[in-house]
A and B are shown apart, each in its own frame.
Chain A
Amino acid sequence: MLEINDLCASYGELQILHNINLKVGSSQIVALLGPNGAGKTTLCKVIIGLIPPKSGSIVFYGEKINNLPTDEIIRRGITIVPEGRRLFGNLSVRDNLELALYISKAERRKLKDRLERVFNIFPVLKEREKQLARSLSGGEQQMLAIGRALMTNPKLLIADELSLGLAPKIFINLLNLMKKIRDEGVSILLIDQNVKQVLEIADWAYVIESGRIRMEGDPKQLLSNEYIWKAYLGGL
C-alpha cells in the first residue's frame, strides 16, 4: 500500500535522508528501528507532507503523494501519532479527538461513530472525555494520541516513538493494542528504539542509520542477527 522509492530529504543544505526504500503492505506492522538522529522522525514528516522530499517518490495505493498538502494526505488515509504525543493540553480529551476531523466536513458527520470506535479501543478515554488532556497520565496521553490518529479512519498509521516516557509494562500494553488495530485492517509503521519489543510484534522490519536503510528483513531473523544484538540489544 505504501511504497517509498529512493527518497532523499534535507533541512536546507544538510541532507538527512539518503535513498530510502521502504514498503508497508496491507494489514502489516512494519518496524522502523534506529538510533537517535538516524532520520526516523524526518521520514515521518516527509511522508505526512510537512517536509518536501528532495528527490524520490512516495506512492500510496498506486498514487504518488509527495508534494500533496498534509490535509490531502490525511484524507487519503495516512495519519501520524507524533513523537512526544503533541496533544493540546489546554483542550479536553474529546476536543483533541474532534480536532482530528477538522480537515473534512464529510468526516465530521461521522464524529459519533468515530468517537465510539476510539472509546471501544481505549475505554479509559471515555471516562476521561471531559478532562483536560494535560491532566492525563503518560500512558493515557499516548492512548489519546493514538485515538486521535484513528479518528480519520486511516489505512496507514505511523507511530513515532510510542515508548517515549512510558513504563515498559504500559508500552507493552500499547503494542498489544497496536496488534489489535492491525487486526482491524489498519497498517502500522512503528518507529521506535525499543528493538526487542517492537520486533516481537512486527511483520517486517527496517533498520535506519545515518539517514540510510542499513538492513531489512523478517523480524525473527533480525532478532537473531549478530549486528542487531551488538548494536541495539547490548550484545548479551
Chain B
Amino acid sequence: MMDLSFINLILHGIFLGGIFACLGYGVFMWKGVMGIINAAHGDFAVLASYICFLLLEFYGVDPLLALPLVIILMFTLGFVIQKYMINRFLPGNITRILLITFALSVITQNSLQILFTVNERSLYVSYYRRSITLGYLNIPLVYLLSFTIAIITFIILYLFLTRTLLGKAMRAIPKDIEAAKMLGINPANIYNYSMGISVALAGIAGVILGLLYQFDPFTGVSYMVISLGVVIIGGLGSIKGTIVGGIATGLAYVLGGYFLGPLFQYVVCYLLILIALIIKPTGLFGGG
C-alpha cells in the first residue's frame, strides 16, 4: 500500500498546481491575446497580497472576503495601464512595452519596500491551522479554499472565453488581427479588458498564494517565472493546458522539496520548465 503521507504530498502538489495555474491564466491574457510580455505580472500578484495584508491588519477583513474588492482594484489598474501606457505602442513596439512593464515591476517592488520594509509578511487567518480529514487524508483548510477559488476562477474564465462575445473576440484577435478589424472590432478596446482581466487574475493568485506562503516585496520575481513556466508546460493559447501546466509545476515544487529539500523547490520547477521547453516547445496543449 502506498504511503499515506506520499498521497497527501501528491494532493498538496495538485492543490498548489491549481493555484499556480491561476498565475498562468493571466499570462494567457497578455501573451496569448496581445503577444506582449508583462514583466510586472508577479509583482501585481504580490501587490494584491499586500492589499489584503493591509485590510487584514488594520480592519480585520478576511482575505477571502476582500477578494471582490481586490479583483475590482486590480482590474482597474490593468485597464488603466493598458489604455494609457501600453496601447500607444501597439502594434509592434514590443521592446518598449517590455521596458514599460519592467519599470512598473521595479516601481511596484520599491514602493512596497518603502511602505512595508523587506520583512516577510503573511496573511495569517484564524483558520490557518484547521484541516479537514477525509478518511485517512488530512487536507489543510486554506489549501482546500485556495484550490476551490482557483478552480472556480478557471470555470468562470473558461465560460467567459467560450460563451461571451468579448471572450470570443479575445480568442479571435491573436489568430488574425486584420480580419478582426475588418469586422469593425477595435483591438485596443479588447486589449484594455484583456489586461484588466489579466491583472485581476494575478490579484486572485496573489491573495490565495498569500494565504499559503509568506511574501515580501520581491516575491513577484518567483511568481513571474512560475507563471511563465505554467504556460510553457501547458501550451500558450490553451486555457485547459494552463491547468495541466499548473499541476505539473505544483507537483514538481512539492516533490522537489520533499525529496531534495526546500532549497530545491524552485530549482526542480525551473528544471521542469527547461525540459518542457527543450522537448516540446509548444507545450502539451500548444498550437491550438
A-B complex is real: yes
Identify the A interface with B (CB < 8 A): 48, 50, 69-75, 80, 82, 86-91, 95, 98-103, 108, 148
Point out residues on B near A: beta carbons under 8 Å: 165, 168-169, 171-172, 175-176, 178-186, 288
Is A89 a contact of B185 with CB atoms below 8 Å?
no
| Contact yes or no, A99 B182, CB < 8 A | no
Distance in angstroms from B33 CB to nearest chain A CB is 12
Choose from B165, B178, B184, B185 the contact partner of A86 (Cβ within 8 Å). B178
Chain A residues with CB under 8 A of B168: 91, 95, 98-99
Residues of B within 8 A of A99 (CB): 165, 168-169, 172, 180, 183, 185
B182, A91: Cβ atoms closer than 8 Å: no
- Identify the closest chain A residue to B166 (Cβ): A102
B175 contacts A74, C-beta separation under 8 Å: no
Does the CB pair B169–A102 fall under 8 Å?
A: yes
**Known pairs A50-B178, A86-B179; A74 contacts B184 (CB<8 A):** yes
Report yes or no: A91 in contact with B171, Cβ–Cβ below 8 A.
Answer: yes
Pick from A71, A88, A95, A101: contact of B186, CB below 8 A. A71
Of the candidates B165, B176, B178, B180, the one whose C-beta lies within 8 Å of that of A101 is B165
Which residues on B sit within 8 Å (CB–CB) of A72? 184
A162 to chain B, nearest CB (A): 15
User: Contact check: which of B176, B181, B184, B288 meets A88 at CB < 8 Å?
Assistant: B176
How far apart are the CA atoms of A101 and B184 in the complex, in Å?
A: 9
Docked complex Cα distance between A70 and B179 (Å): 12
**Contact (A88, B178) CB under 8 Å given A99-B183, A103-B183, A108-B165:** no
Q: Can you list 26 contacts pairing A with B, beta carbon distance less than 8 Å? A: A48-B182, A50-B181, A70-B182, A70-B184, A72-B184, A75-B184, A82-B182, A86-B179, A87-B179, A88-B171, A88-B172, A88-B179, A90-B175, A90-B288, A91-B168, A91-B172, A99-B165, A99-B168, A99-B169, A99-B172, A99-B185, A101-B165, A102-B165, A102-B185, A103-B185, A108-B165
A71 to B180 alpha-carbon distance, docked (Å): 11
Chain A positions within 8 Å of B178 at CB level: 50, 86
The smallest C-beta distance from A102 to any residue of chain B, in angstroms, reads: 5
Q: Which residue of the partner chain A has the closest CB to B168?
A: A95
Closest chain A residue, CB of each to CB of B172: A88
Residue numbers in A under 8 Å from B185 (CB-CB): 71, 99, 102-103
Closest chain-A Cβ to B19's Cβ sits at a distance in Å of: 28
Verify B165–A80 contact, CB threshold 8 A.
Answer: no
Q: Which residues of A contact B183 (CB under 8 A)?
A: 74, 99-100, 102-103, 148
Which of B172, B178, B180, B182 has most chain A Cβ within 10 Å?
Answer: B182
A87 to B175, CA, bound (A): 9
Closest beta carbon of chain B to A74's beta carbon, Å: 4
* List of A residues within 8 angstroms of B182 by Cβ: 48, 50, 70, 80, 82, 86
Cβ distance A91 to chain B, nearest Cβ, rounded Å: 6
Q: Do A89 and B169 form a contact, CB below 8 Å, given A50-B181, A50-B182, A100-B183?
A: no
Residues in B neighbouring A108, C-beta threshold 8 A: 165
Question: Smallest Cβ distance from A233 to chain B, in angstroms?
Answer: 31
